[in-house]
Amino acid sequence: MNAVIQTSPTQQQALHLLQTVFGYPAFRSQQGQIVDHVANGGDALVLMPTGGGKSLCYQIPALIRQGVGIVVSPLIALMQDQVDALAEVGVRAAFLNSTQSFDEALQIERLMREGAIDLVYIAPERLMTQRCLELLSVTPLALFAIDEAHCVSQWGHDFRPEYIKLSILHERFPDVPRIALTATADQQTRDEIIHRLQLENAMQFVSSFDRPNIRYQIVEKANGRKQLLDFITAQHSGDAGIVYCLSRKKVEETAEFLNENGITALPYHAGMEQSDRYRNQARFLREDGIVMTATIAFGMGIDKPDVRFVAHLDLPKSIEGYYQETGRAGRDGASANAWMAYGLQDVVQQRRMIDESEANETFKRVQGVKLDAMLGLCETLQCRRVHILDYFGQPSQACGNCDTCLSPPISFDGTVAAQKILSTVYRVDQRFAAGHVIDVIRGIDTDRVKQWRHDQLSTFGIGSDKSEAEWRALLRQMIALGLVAVDYENFSSLKLTEDSRAVLRGESRIQLRQYKKAEKAVKHKRQSAKDFAETNLNDTEQAIFERLRWWRVETAKAHNTAAFIIFHDSTLREIAKAKPRTLDDLRGVSGVGAKKLESYGEELVKLIAEFA
Ligand code: ADP
Ligand code: ZN
């Protein structure tokens, strides 16, 4: 039989909507199949990385099917933008939440009953009210989309108790298809979603978790803030980015430091007034080029597409957390950076937090295992991406777009260096912290060294050939490997472990990563090795692009909405390249659908003509 690719009427309709409404030429990865499945009434569980394009998976079926698509989303603060973005492409959408007046809500409820609206976003606690369930029973329903479905998992960090009650949707409305979506990959969460939402019969769509446009970099921390500033100035001036810090205090200090140095930065953490948090979040979403310094309280559902970098000034607790946070960069598919500065103090601090937490032993053990995996990623000699994807159970090949691929680390036999550290730890009676141990190894005559007569030790000065930073890096790796322990209850003094004895006795040899002095970040605006969804612009095109961005700022202001809701950078870049003279020329550009063509086409063509 010849393999003739047949497209069903639903598939044709879906593609037509994708092209005319959203202005995109083709579905990405599994989007087409998911849309087809849900549009035909099937249940689905969709696991796709952040930026993978989950929204279209329920938006298009909601347009194809009769009735109203109900989107359950935990993030009230973001509903406005989601609805605005749909309005821009001409889709009838609204939300029901506590920010609107009773009259507004009544109006939307009426439209729902009439089926005169395509998509309605509702927070789960609202959805579960008697009033809302009754409304749903008299509304023609196209589907239920359960966004951020991992919120149902009690073990995850985003647990929302109201999510558990969502199984009621299946019981009350058994004929309405449900699509649950999440970017959280692990099997445990997946199983819990299926079980709690009664999705046993749903088709599962698991996408690749790779985010090829993100460049991973983990650098040795010397002066983290200064390194961050260099990184932003060299590679991301004028770009939007997120900087994650562990503590609220550090968030505030970092924001202040960046502002003092000419970078517009706003703080965000759970200790701030809610209104301040919302305001900062709204500015970050709407204005171009703002840096958000935040704790991990910031992030879920931040679907700003043009976040160009995510930086970590402190070590995340797990690879899951790291991947989710870094995943907020580059959702538009253009190149983005995930940058982290990591040092000895991070290891000590995270270990201590686990040790000192009030949690039960099982929980602590799990946290310890997760932290070790994260440390393994930091210290790896392998491609970072291979390492991460492997952690999520996905085999891959060296990526060419991470620091270890671009400038491979050098490993060396660190046995002798490790022995120097271990025997010094032993000779100072396991009673001193890292700073002092390193002073002794390097032969530094500090007051404390003299006071304890540690200049008399046989190991005093045996490591004068290496800098303090080098010794710190070695010690950090040894702590990460469990060859040295830190006693938090006793002034963070260093202790030997079971495993250290074998190294001391020369019975086991260890490979360590050679210290690399923090390099001055190279001054280049955009990565050149790999360009993703990015066209190189010549001078005229660059000028057009800048002009278009200005136009976009003005237009967004006039519409009281975010710039990216008008057009993405990638669309503006393509327009600058294509220099359309007519509306027909413009129609072919990715991201320009029928409604946007009608709203902005004339203006854009006129604007381009100025450059002819
Ligand atoms: P997710 O919710 O999975 O993080 P989104 O649904 O927000 O991702 O989509 C990420 C970005 O990709 C959005 O800006 C969206 O417009 C864009 N996008 C999604 N699907 C396509 C497609 N088929 N072609 C081009 N762009 C797409
Ligand atoms: Zn790599």
Which has the minimum average pLDDT: 1-5, 126-130, 179-183? 1-5
Whole-angstrom CA distances from 582 to 166, 320, 370, 499 are 49, 47, 56, 72
Give mean pLDDT, residues 560-588.
Answer: 91
Instruction: Give the position, in ligand 1's atom list, of the atom nearest the Cα of 55.
Output: 6
Distance 477 CA to ligand 2 centre (A): 21
Note the pLDDT of residue 378: 94
Q: Which ligand is nearest to the CA of 218?
A: 2
Contact of 56 with 18, CB cutoff 8 Å: yes
Share of the chain above pLDDT 90, in %: 66
List the residue whose alpha carbon is closest to atom 23 of ligand 1: 27
* Ligand 1: lining residues by beta carbon, under 6 Å: 24, 27-28, 31, 48, 50-56, 303, 305, 331-332
pTM for the structure as a whole: 0.80
Please say whether the dihedral angle defined by the alpha carbons of residues 494, 499, 505 and 510, taken in this order, is positive or negative.
Answer: negative
Instruction: Give the position, in ligand 1's atom list, of the atom nearest the Cα of 305.
Output: 14
Q: How distant is the alpha carbon of residue 585 from its chain centre?
A: 35
**pLDDT grade for 524, boundaries at 50, 70 and 90:** very low
Give mean pLDDT, residues 390-408.
Answer: 92
Give mean pLDDT, residues 126-136.
Answer: 95
The top-scoring range by mean pLDDT among 103-112, 409-418, 587-596 is 103-112
List the residue whose alpha carbon is closest to atom 19 of ligand 1: 53
| DSSP labels, 415-481 | HHHHHHHHHHHHHTTT---HHHHHHHHHT---HHHHHTTGGGSTTTTTTTTS-HHHHHHHHHHHHHT
Distance 336 CA to ligand 2 centre (A): 14
Note the pLDDT of residue 133: 96
Nearest CA-CA partner of 312 in 355, 249, 400, 250: 250
Nearest CA-CA partner of 175 in 225, 199, 217, 141: 141
Distance 31 CA to ligand 1 centre (A): 10
Distance 233 CA to ligand 2 centre (A): 24
558's CB contacts (< 8 A; 6+ apart) are none
Give mean pLDDT, residues 204-225.
Answer: 93
Note the pLDDT of residue 156: 66
Instruction: Give the position, in ligand 1's atom list, of the atom nearest the Cα of 52.
Output: 3
Distance 377 CA to ligand 2 centre (A): 12
List the residue whose alpha carbon is closest to atom 2 of ligand 1: 54
**pLDDT grade for 526, boundaries at 50, 70 and 90:** very low
Instruction: Give the position, in ligand 1's atom list, of the atom nearest the Cα of 50.
Output: 4
Statement: residue 479 has pLDDT above 60: yes
**pLDDT grade for 521, boundaries at 50, 70 and 90:** low
Statement: residue 518 has pLDDT above 80: no
Q: Which ligand is nearest to the CA of 403?
A: 2
Best residue among 19, 22, 45 to mutate for probing ligand 1's pocket (most ligand atoms within 8 Å of CB) is 22
Note the pLDDT of residue 591: 92
Tell me the pLDDT of the chain averaged across its residues.
Answer: 90
Statement: residue 530 has pLDDT above 50: no
Whole-angstrom CA distances from 431 to 233, 423, 428 are 42, 13, 6
The label of the residue with tokens 């001036």 reads: 237
Best residue among 24, 205, 326, 569 to mutate for probing ligand 1's pocket (most ligand atoms within 8 Å of CB) is 24
Give mean pLDDT, residues 559-583.
Answer: 90
Note the pLDDT of residue 70: 98
List the residue whose alpha carbon is closest to atom 17 of ligand 1: 53
List the residue whose alpha carbon is closest to atom 12 of ligand 1: 53
96 DSSP β-pair partners:
122
Best residue among 55, 211, 592 to mutate for probing ligand 1's pocket (most ligand atoms within 8 Å of CB) is 55
Nearest CA-CA partner of 291 in 342, 247, 231, 368: 231
Other beta carbons less than 10 A from residue 555's beta carbon: 17
Alpha carbon distance 433, 435 (integer Å): 6
Statement: residue 88 has pLDDT above 60: yes
Give mean pLDDT, residues 414-426.
Answer: 95
Nearest CA-CA partner of 573 in 553, 595, 544, 594: 544
Best residue among 30, 56, 82, 326 to mutate for probing ligand 1's pocket (most ligand atoms within 8 Å of CB) is 56
Helix (H) / strand (E) containing 215: strand 214-220
Statement: residue 82 has pLDDT above 60: yes
Statement: residue 496 has pLDDT above 50: yes
Note the pLDDT of residue 159: 83
At 444-459, the pLDDT tens digits run 999 999 999 999 999 9
At 332-386, the pLDDT tens digits run 888 999 999 999 889 888 888 888 888 888 888 888 888 989 999 999 989 999 9
Nearest CA-CA partner of 115 in 86, 135, 89, 145: 135
**pLDDT grade for 166, boundaries at 50, 70 and 90:** very high
| More confidently predicted of 142 and 299 | 142
Statement: residue 532 has pLDDT above 70: no
Statement: residue 529 has pLDDT above 50: no
**pLDDT grade for 301, boundaries at 50, 70 and 90:** low
At 230-239, the pLDDT tens digits run 999 999 988 9
**pLDDT grade for 4, boundaries at 50, 70 and 90:** low
Best residue among 35, 331, 567 to mutate for probing ligand 1's pocket (most ligand atoms within 8 Å of CB) is 331
Q: Which ligand is nearest to the CA of 181?
A: 1
Statement: residue 37 has pLDDT above 90: yes
Distance 404 CA to ligand 2 centre (A): 6
For 61, the token pair is 């079926």
Give mean pLDDT, residues 550-565.
Answer: 89
Instruction: Give the position, in ligand 1's atom list, of the atom nearest the Cα of 303.
Output: 7
